[in-house]
């Protein structure tokens, strides 16, 4: 147990406490990093099954396997029953770059599909530690380019694309936009970024010191474990992980930034907002 943490349980609503109770009943220690990464994935998949039950049903769902820059990538299209325009949202799932897949984030994508009345496209990028940074950034950027080149085939507008993601997926969302800006020189087709409780480059902060625990698997030691599996030996160029070391002064799509009051990564979101 880490010292000097805020007692987050005293600040939680009854609904959140009940959620954590169910979470613990489903898989005890679901987010522990003190196990193998294979066990981490198994725990995460088992815990997420419950939360993905129900929710909006798409008009149709289409899975497509693509040969990307680092092997086969599966993407999943969710087409809403009520659709407005031909815009689309690319969804990059969270999980510390180590866990998660298209099924663990199915309900999130379907809810976003229904609320936005847009096609939502999930990316099943390769996970760390088998595939390390910047593989995931390159794969997500590849998918954006592929979608634009195949937009007519999938009935979407190549100039009306948003990118969304949660946690590590929020990091990849911003990183992908920056990577495309720096390598392709034009990202006006990216309408916005939806960044949910993301990590954007800080390795220490007030919120990391005060919050995070066994309930969310985000002790600082856990954050460092994810980073080690994702980055490995520090790269000389971390601009697409530590996004604060990149140039955020131009050609960054409008960002919707969301975080929770007990989020240990909230200072990343606050700094991004202020940058």
Q: What is the pLDDT of residue 28?
A: 87
Give the CA dihedral 240, 244, 246, 247, nearest 10 degrees.
Answer: 140
pTM of the prediction?
0.96
Percent of the chain past pLDDT 90, that is, above it, reads: 94
Q: What is the pLDDT of residue 205?
A: 97
Q: What is the pLDDT of residue 136?
A: 98
Q: What is the pLDDT of residue 1?
A: 59
**Cα–Cα distance, 168 to 164 (Å, whole number):** 11
Q: What is the pLDDT of residue 233?
A: 74
Model pLDDT for residues 77-90, shown as the tens digit of each residue: 999 999 999 999 99
Chain centroid, CA 19 distance in Å: 21
Give the CA dihedral 218, 262, 215, 33, nearest 10 degrees.
Answer: 0
Mean pLDDT by 10 residues, the chain (275 residues): 85 94 90 95 95 96 98 98 97 98 98 98 98 97 98 98 98 98 94 98 96 92 96 85 97 97 97 96
The CATH number given to 58-211+219-274 is 3.40.50.1820
Q: What is the pLDDT of residue 85?
A: 96
């Amino acid at each position: 147990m880490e010292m000097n943490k805020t007692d987050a349980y005293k600040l939680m609503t009854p609904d959140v406490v009940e959620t954590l109770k169910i979470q613990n009943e489903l898989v005890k220690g679901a987010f522990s990093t003190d196990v193998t990464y294979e066990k981490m994935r198994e725990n995460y998949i088992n815990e997420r099954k419950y939360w993905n039950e129900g929710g909006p049903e798409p008009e149709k769902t289409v899975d497509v396997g693509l040969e990307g820059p680092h092997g086969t990538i599966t993407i999943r299209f969710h087409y809403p029953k009520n659709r407005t325009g031909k815009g689309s949202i690319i969804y990059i799932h969270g999980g510390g770059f180590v866990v998660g897949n298209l099924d663990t984030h199915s309900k999130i994508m379907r809810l976003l599909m229904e609320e936005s009345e847009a096609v939502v496209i999930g990316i099943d990028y390769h996970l760390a530690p088998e595939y390390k940074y910047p593989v995931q950034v390159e794969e997500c950027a590849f998918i954006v380019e592929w979608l634009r080149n195949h937009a007519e085939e999938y009935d979407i507008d190549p100039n009306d694309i948003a990118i969304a993601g949660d946690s590590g997926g929020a990091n990849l969302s911003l990183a992908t936009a920056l990577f495309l800006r720096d390598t392709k020189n034009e990202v006006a087709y990216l309408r916005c970024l939806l960044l949910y409780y993301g990590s954007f480059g800080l390795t220490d902060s007030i919120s990391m010191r005060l919050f995070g625990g066994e309930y969310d698997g985000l002790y600082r030691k856990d954050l460092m474990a994810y980073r080690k599996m994702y980055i490995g030996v520090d790269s000389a160029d971390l601009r697409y992980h530590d996004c604060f070391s990149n140039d955020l002064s131009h050609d960054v799509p409008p960002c919707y930034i969301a975080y929770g009051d007990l989020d240990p990564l909230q200072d990343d979101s606050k700094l991004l907002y202020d940058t």
